[in-house]
Every structure is written in C-alpha cells, then in structure tokens.
Chain A
Amino acid sequence: KAGVTQTPRYLIKTRGQQVTLSCSPISGHRSVSWYQQTPGQGLQFLFEYFSETQRNKGNFPGRFSGRQFSNSRSEMNVSTLELGDSALYLCASSLEVNSPLHFGNGTRLTVT
C-alpha cells in the first residue's frame, strides 16, 4: 500500500508570494493533518481534516489555510509568505480520527 504522498518535495518562494502544498493520504484513510517542523519551534500542529471538514486548528495566523477534498486528498495554502514560514511541512493521514498518524516525507519550503 502506498504511503502518504506530498508534492512538491522542495519549494523556493519569495516573501509576499503564496504557496499551495498537496497531500495524498494512504488509500482508505479519511483523516488528514498538517504539521510544521522548524529547528527552533519543533513540530507544531496546523490543522486536521476529516470528511472534508476542519476538525481542529492550531495557533497559526489566518495566512495558513487548508482544505480536504471528497477523495480525502488535502491541500494547504500559505499566503503572503514570510521568511519565518521556511520549514518542513508534514502531512499525516489516519484511518479514523483516533487512529495513529502516518506521515509523508514532507515539503521543504524555503522563503527568500
């Protein structure tokens, strides 16, 4: 069974631009979560989606948004990029909301 797939693997953007990251969960998994990983702050929760509905949201500004489609695939968008948004963005999927999370390899975003 294929794992969680995130595209693209690497992105370089300029301050002020916007970016969209994509995540395809493990087949059959209905819950998708997003986390940001930085050397300074570690792993921080962004959002969780289940059946196209945002179930939970972390403490990030409104520039960070996401959505989930009917096939459980998810996207997250960051608008008006700042240097501090440079990070590894990890997507995770789970069978149900209480199931263990399985992570993808992440998208490394660099903002210059």
Chain B
Amino acid sequence: GEDVEQSLFLSVREGDSSVINCTYTDSSSTYLYWYKQEPGAGLQLLTYIFSNMDMKQDQRLTVLLNKKDKHLSLRIADTQTGDSAIYFCAERADTGRRALTFGSGTRLQVQP
C-alpha cells in the first residue's frame, strides 16, 4: 500500500539551512505537498510540486523531487526560530485514491 516516511526530529541553529527529507512508495503519486503545523494549530500549506517537476523554489523554501528514488526534500534557507514546528510531507495520486497520505511529521527545532 501507500506509505510516506519521514525522520522524526531535526535540530538546527538559527541562520543555518534545514533539510527535511521524505520518501514515498506509491509510484502513481502525482502531487506532493509540504505542510507546517505549529502547536495548537491546523496544517498550513507551504508548497507543493507536481511529479513532472524536479525542483520548485518559493522564497526561502526549495523543494527537490527525485522521482526515480521516490524522494522528496524541503530545504529552508536562513532558518528562523519561527520556523520551529512539525513539517508533514504528503502525497496524492491523480486518479483513483484521492486522499492525501501523510508522513508522520518531522519536528524541526531551531536553536538561537
């Protein structure tokens, strides 16, 4: 079945770059998303990429997709303390099963 894996925890210093990794198993995945969740809040859509793209950049965020290895990464440049949160990777196929399948989330801790 479909599965999305993420490492549980990442700690970085303020000003450094953060890289959060995600692997997925469903080869029919068409849409891949990154969401951010702060304490007591819902999920905030950060960015997304279609499977026919290799890279997408949006201000401090860079998403890299290696479709052959089914590997997705989110790079946050100049990480700030306000970036401390849980980051979820999610994938969805274009047809058939339409729900998002989420990873378990990576907790990013930014140290001043």
Interface residues in chain A, defined as those with a beta carbon under 8 Å from any beta carbon in chain B: 4, 6, 33, 35, 42-43, 45, 48, 55-56, 58, 90, 92, 97-98, 100-106
Contact = CB atoms under 8 A, between A and B. Distances in A.
Leading 4 A-B pairs by shortest Cβ distance:
A45-B99, A43-B102, A103-B43, A103-B42
A97 B31 CA distance: 12
Contact of A45 (B45, B94, B100): B100
Contacts of B42: 4, 6, 90, 103-106
Contact of B45 (A48, A55, A100, A106): A100
Contact of A103 (B35, B98, B99, B103): B35
A13 B11 CA distance: 38
Interface residues of B, number: 22
Interface of A is mostly: strand
Interface in B28-51: 31, 33, 35, 40-45, 48
A95 to B, nearest CB: 12
Contact of B98 (A4, A55, A100): A55
A100 B32 CA distance: 10
